[in-house]
Structure 1
Amino acid sequence: MASCLRTQCMPHFHSKCFLAKRKPLYPARAARIVGIQKNCTGAIPGAGKFGRRTVLQKMALLSVFIAGNNACGGGVASQNKKTNLSIEEIKSIIENDISKGQYYVTGDMTKEIYENNCRFRDPTTDLTGLEKYISAVKFLFNPNTSKQELLSIAVVDPHTIEAKWRLEGYLKFPWNPHILPYEGSTRYVLDDRGLIMSHEETWDISVWTALQEFLLPSWMPT
């Protein structure tokens, strides 16, 4: 895996307007991008042959691939569902799962409030299946060096809850990719049984920035 990305593989990095488009750009992330612009000698594997779009598509399939290969041993999805809870009760459970369970980096979430075929979407991934999602999260993040902070959570309408959060951490790959702090939001949509059938994320970083951070090696904190 290359230690940095070649600027010709990332044409929009040549322009200062790229940094202006980020909302808000953490200093450490900005420094890493500037360092890439000035000191790159490597390249994304396959980028020259296949092009930037193909590399991004492969990155987008990464989580699905991981989930599909790990869900087989991920256990059986819960059948004892907590149906017909009030939306405020569901909100409280989600709040606890984020604040205490840190489920985005541990996978420790209350399965009983989700449909087994819940759809999970983010800017890089679209997969269906509660156990697939949990397996992917547990495979990707090192829970000892990663964390999620709940910024806010609210009921939007009788079937929708929205949470805003901040996330950072290290991934479980040999080069210890470090995902710098970024913010996102998740919309939880409930079905007629009062179970979550859709879990959709938005991020304040681009897919390309996420790819860059995935490829860069780092040193695990001691």
Structure 2
Amino acid sequence: MSMLTLAAGFQVPAPSHVHSASLAAQTKQDSSDTVSDYAGTGGIAKGIVSGLTNAFNAISPAKEEEVVVKAGKLSPRQLFTGIKEDFVDKRYLWTGLIDDNLYSEDCLFTDPTLSFRGLSTWKKNVGSLRPLVNALVPEFGVDLLSCELNEKEKCVRARWRMWGYIKLPWQPAVDVIGRTRFTYDPAEGNRVVDYFETWELPAGEALMQLVTPGKRRQQ
């Protein structure tokens, strides 16, 4: 569950019959697959996240950040190490902080509810949403469950868990396991050209966590 999807979900009002029913319907629609991806996610979940992300960007535009891409070619091993550091040290799934040098400027970013192109678009989106996450998520973590470099397929595959407690009146908690495939291109200096994220639960069920009253979960 990327920071973009999560932060957009925070903007859904307090639990109500309408919102819960809509997301429950989406969960049922998506539940035929164990793993959710963008192609398999229905329009309700995509519409909620895309619409709220665009609205928040319009209301609270981020200060434009310069994308710094270093010259020179990375080795696949350097890319692999950098991706692991983004997970473990930067906890980017929550913070949105990634190493620019690992990504092509034209990289395609996709999770089960959003798909867009461009490193600068990533930075603009997370820049506007980061204050919301900082304010509402006092405790969070990212566990890197596995990470493998496949030079034959020119990709890094990671499996992870993100969890956190949301400072909202109904005390929701987020706990999602997912996988990300980072495909790199030697023509782009072995930088990531396709970021593809899936979750091990339906997208509607993941979003339901944000509107479901709950208590702290065991780690």
| TM-score, length-scaled by structure 2 | 0.68
Q: Which runs of 5+ in 2 are unaligned?
A: 1-12, 36-41
Instruction: Note if contact 1:148-1:165 (Cα within 8 Å) is conserved in structure 2.
Output: yes
Change (3 A) 1:112 1:88: same
Change (3 A) 1:12 1:187: closer
TM-superposed CA distance for 1:94, in Å, is: 0.8
Runs of 4+ off more than 6 Å: 20-23, 218-221
Instruction: Note if contact 1:5-1:212 (Cα within 8 Å) is conserved in structure 2.
Output: no
Q: In structure 1, what is the equivalent of residue 67 of structure 2?
A: 77
Larger Rg: 1
Instruction: Note if contact 2:174-2:210 (Cα within 8 Å) is conserved in structure 1.
Output: no
TM-superposed CA distance for 1:99, in Å, is: 0.6
Q: In structure 2, what is the equivalent of residue 162 of structure 1?
A: 157
Worse-superposed segment, 100-109 or 209-218: 209-218
Change (3 A) 1:118 1:73: same
Instruction: Note if contact 2:182-2:194 (Cα within 8 Å) is conserved in structure 1.
Output: yes
TM-superposed CA distance for 1:4, in Å, is: 4.7
Change (3 A) 1:75 1:212: same
Change (3 A) 1:160 1:75: same
Greater RCO, CA 8 A, separation 6+: 2
Q: In structure 2, what is the equivalent of residue 38 of structure 1?
A: none
Instruction: Note if contact 1:165-1:183 (Cα within 8 Å) is conserved in structure 2.
Output: yes
Q: Which runs of 5+ in 1 are unaligned?
A: 24-52
Identity over aligned pairs, percent: 20
Change (3 A) 1:208 1:156: same
Worse-superposed segment, 57-66 or 125-134: 57-66
- Cα distance between partner residues in 2 of 1:139 and 1:128: 23
What RMSD, in angstroms, separates the aligned Cα atoms of the two structures?
A: 3.5
Q: Give 1:7-46 correspondences, 5 Å limit.
A: 9=22, 10=24
1:3 paired with 2:15, answer yes
Q: In structure 2, what is the equivalent of residue 104 of structure 1?
A: 93
- Cα distance between partner residues in 2 of 1:171 and 1:129: 29
Question: What SS is found at the alignment partner of 1:73?
Answer: coil
1:16-43 CA deviation, whole Å, 9 max, x = no partner?
Answer: xx7x9868xxxxxxxxxxxxxxxxxxxx
| TM-score, length-scaled by structure 1 | 0.67
